[in-house]
Amino acid sequence: MEDKLITLAILTYSKAQILQSVLENEGIESYIHNVNLIQPVISSGVRVRIKESDLPQALKIIESSSWLSSEILHEESPASPKASHVLIPIDFSPYSLKACDFGFRVAAKMHVDVVLLHVHFTPIYIPSLQYSTDNFGIPSIENAANMRSIMETVHKEMEDLAKIIDKKIEDGIYPKVKYTCLLREGVPEEEILSYARHEKPLIIVMGTRGEHQENLELIGSVTAEVIERSPVFVYAIPEQAPSKSIEDIHKVALFTSFDQRDLIAFDSLIKTFKDNQFEITFIHINSHEEKRTWNEITLAGIKEYFKKQYPQLEFDYVAVDESHLLNNIDQFIQTNKIDVICTSNYKRNIFARLFNPSMARKMLFHSNTPLLIIK
């Protein structure tokens, strides 16, 4: 069946020409409609149309403002570095080993390496007198010994973990995957995010709690901060979640707010895990009773669109009432035996993160089902 044309954007004629050139440079065939044939330069409301199958890729370009620069027509876009590894932040707790269980199997499936990253915090010693400048920042002999002891402990724990992993690989429990151990000093979440921004791992695999974080509140979790701000996929494994490999993931619950960024994120998910035959259930939260019928219609339309775009996958949808939200979602997950909860996290400012936690953060502290955050 012939791919129908859909309107991607309505722009001025000059901007439509720029967008058309950028799309064609990316291999997307596009058409400009509604042009004033007598004076095309002054045309307004020009429609840029593309094939429906090209929509996910085209939306990624629309989301970026870079195409609005006319200079882009004379430049070649630099190739983005190919993700070559799975990042597993570790703190030597049992949750770290659970993350390794999944992370090594993902790396083998994707034919990439593993990087184990431990971030340690070294105290900064200051003089007892607030305004003293003598020996400022220079630790005493006792404090220097403490710092040396901390580093020796960290290195010993890293060596012990490496021995455990080597034994698991030797026994065939873990696949034979090349791995590297890294140590960094600083605040854990900041160092993890800094590494992710610069090195662009394929995915970050983490436990949801560290060894000393059992009693931390909602805002205090390292994993929660990484989920909110990571530029790459994050797979978060709750402490009570059953051990699963990537092959065990079949049923995925995907939250959608009917935002076009959900479409971009979903397309990224399918391309990253293209060998998996997922059963996808779209979940939308009903916040207004009067919109329930419209939400059902929209969800049905989304289901039909994705069935056409990804015929190899199975799709369903459900609308969940906002009242008793987490309990309603829990019941749905248990009834339908969902393997992974999937959501996209948009960039939000600090006040939004503090006073209106994202669905990913809420589920992180509530559900025993693994979370996959797609970008």
Q: How does pLDDT run across 136-168, given as a tens digit for each residue? A: 455 556 666 777 777 888 889 999 999 999 999
* Band of residue 134 on the pLDDT scale cut at 50, 70, 90: low
Nearby residues of 202 by Cβ (< 8 Å), 6 or more positions away: 83, 84, 85, 86, 110, 112, 232, 233, 272
State residue 360's pLDDT score: 61
Phi, psi (rounded to 5 degrees) for 81? -60, 140
Distance CA 125, CA 150 (A): 14
Q: What residue type is assigned to position 181 of the chain?
A: C
* Residue 126 in this model has a pLDDT that exceeds 50: no
Domain ranges of the chain: 5-74, 85-237, 247-374
- Tokens 């791995």, residue located: 179
State residue 41's pLDDT score: 45
Q: Using N-to-C axis directions, what is the helix angle for 188-199 and 222-229, rounded to 10°?
A: 30
Q: What residue type is assigned to position 116 of the chain?
A: L
Out of 4-18, 115-129, 160-174, 314-328, pick the least confident: 115-129
* Band of residue 73 on the pLDDT scale cut at 50, 70, 90: very low
State residue 211's pLDDT score: 40
Q: What kind of fold does domain 5-74 have according to CATH? A: Alpha-Beta Plaits (3.30.70)
* Residue 259 in this model has a pLDDT that exceeds 50: yes
- Is 19 in a helix, a strand, or coil? helix
Q: Which residues of 204-239 are buried (b: 16+ CB within 10 A; e: fewer)?
A: bbbbbbbeebeeeeeeebbbbbbbbbbebbbbbbbe
State residue 302's pLDDT score: 85
Average pLDDT over residues 168-190: 92
Distance CA 363, CA 327 (A): 11
Domains 5-74 and 85-237 share a fold: no
Residue predicted with more confidence, 107 or 310 = 107
Q: What kind of fold does domain 247-374 have according to CATH? A: Rossmann fold (3.40.50)
Out of 12-21, 188-197, 300-309, pick the least confident: 12-21
Distance CA 93, CA 160 (A): 12
Q: What kind of fold does domain 85-237 have according to CATH? A: Rossmann fold (3.40.50)
